[in-house]
Structure 1
């Protein structure tokens, strides 16, 4: 058994295979399992259930089963899995979500190509978003789930508690392996769609909350436990109320990066102007 720290939550992990421990190497912490918020393990049946197509090793499937268990517990700690790629630019996080094959990885590569060391990938596939309350933005595991630092329930502190969503890296970062043990405040979420032939790249702000929720439903893992599922939905509602959402219809080209960069700088006109003056791409 070993212990990891994901999104500020200490978790004890019991494995049958060494693969998961190697995968989590950058997140392992030297604490006793008794100090962890909870522990996870996977049965042979749960491991087999992750291998519907029979194409993966039991060790890899165990890692998936364990992460699924971890993520279904995370709403208790104001956190949840978000299937997206998160980059950090100018101290702000930008999440890009898309259907498989749409070009999410290609788009992220455009950010890295254009901005170099000024942009980093926090997680390329399965980050965790966590609501952090107050100025400190950081009740670590060990605090009572769903309560503020003084013990008051968040729901009792007012309908719009102060705080922000923070995106955390995880060991599960996609086939490219893009990611790191880091975190960044989430600035915006962008859904990427492939545009039709002849259609120009277009970035638009999503204003309909129902459409946003419908899109989010495809990017999260809803726990089976009704109490945790309700907490997950409450967190999604808070996300909708605190973070702007966009749709980028594009082809995987440098022009698509230019459109998305408007989102990154929508509240900083001077920086946007400096970028436009110096922006040059190769076709």
Structure 2
């Protein structure tokens, strides 16, 4: 069992495979844990069956994932459920911080959210820091939303152990011509609901839906139609950073 701190919560993690501890290494913390996350063989089996069904549904060839990798998924799933008790939820997106403010880009898979944050880094240089490129945690407070880096940084491992106030959430769509519009919570809600982790636990799901509603009132919401040119980054940054 080892202790970590993510999204301002200190917790202990008890796992079977060392892959889990290695993944969380950058978040190691010496402190009294507020709760314990434990994974076991049943959790690994659940993740294996879930992955098999998803690949089958998507028409992909079967793939035998290693137990260690599957256990990392199980650990994060349990952590995400627990975090809802602390007004924090798991979201699928690419988050970049510029001058201390965070911007979260989300989209359907393959649309180009990671490509767009790469264009921001090309445009802004050292001013831009990747917070997380896949599965950040968002905490909703009285003063706004804070986004946190996590060990789950996507296939390119772009992210770090940091937090920043969230200035805007931007839904990306492909377009030949770049355009960006500020949108309402009702306009954004369907995509936000798709991209948030929705726990199977009824109480945790209820908390998550409530947190989405609150987050929409505390941060800017935008829809960006973008090509893969740096001009798209220039437009989105100049608009959302105002």
Normalised by the size of structure 2, how large is the TM-score?
Answer: 0.91
> Deviation digits for residues 170-204 of structure 1, max 9, x if unmatched?
01111111101000000000011112xxx311111
Look up the match of 1:47: 44
List aligned pairs for 1:139-154, cutoff 5 A.
none
Larger strand share, 1 or 2: 2
Look up the match of 2:58: none
Shift of 1:231: 1.6
Secondary structure at 1:218 match in 2: helix
Measured in 2, the distance between the counterparts of 1:170 and 1:203 equals 29
Secondary structure at 1:50 match in 2: helix
Shift of 1:210: 2.3
1:228 to 189, 192, 204: 204
Look up the match of 1:213: 189
Look up the match of 2:4: 4
Q: Which ranges of structure 2 fall in alignment gaps of 5 or more residues?
A: 53-62
Look up the match of 1:202: 179
Aligned residues of 2:90 and 2:138 also touching (Cα < 8 A):
yes
Measured in 1, the distance between the counterparts of 2:64 and 2:239 equals 39
1:120 to 129, 132, 151: 129
Aligned residues of 2:178 and 2:227 also touching (Cα < 8 A):
yes
Look up the match of 2:66: 57
Indicate the structure (1 or 2) with the bigger Cα radius of gyration.
1
Measured in 2, the distance between the counterparts of 1:173 and 1:55 equals 22
> Deviation digits for residues 231-257 of structure 1, max 9, x if unmatched?
212111111111111111112111211
Look up the match of 2:59: none
Secondary structure at 1:48 match in 2: helix
Measured in 2, the distance between the counterparts of 1:9 and 1:263 equals 33
Shift of 1:60: 0.6
Measured in 1, the distance between the counterparts of 2:221 and 2:154 equals 23
Shift of 1:61: 0.6
Look up the match of 1:190: 170
Aligned residues of 2:16 and 2:40 also touching (Cα < 8 A):
no
Measured in 2, the distance between the counterparts of 1:265 and 1:88 equals 11
1:21 and 2:21 correspond: yes
Measured in 2, the distance between the counterparts of 1:224 and 1:48 equals 17
1:163 to 119, 138, 143: 143
Secondary structure at 1:171 match in 2: coil
**Aligned CA-pair RMSD:** 1.3
Shift of 1:230: 1.8
Q: Which ranges of structure 1 fall in alignment gaps of 5 or more residues?
A: 133-161, 267-283
1:109 to 94, 109, 118: 118
Larger helix share, 1 or 2: 2
Which shifted more, 35-44 or 98-107?
35-44
1:255 and 2:235 correspond: no
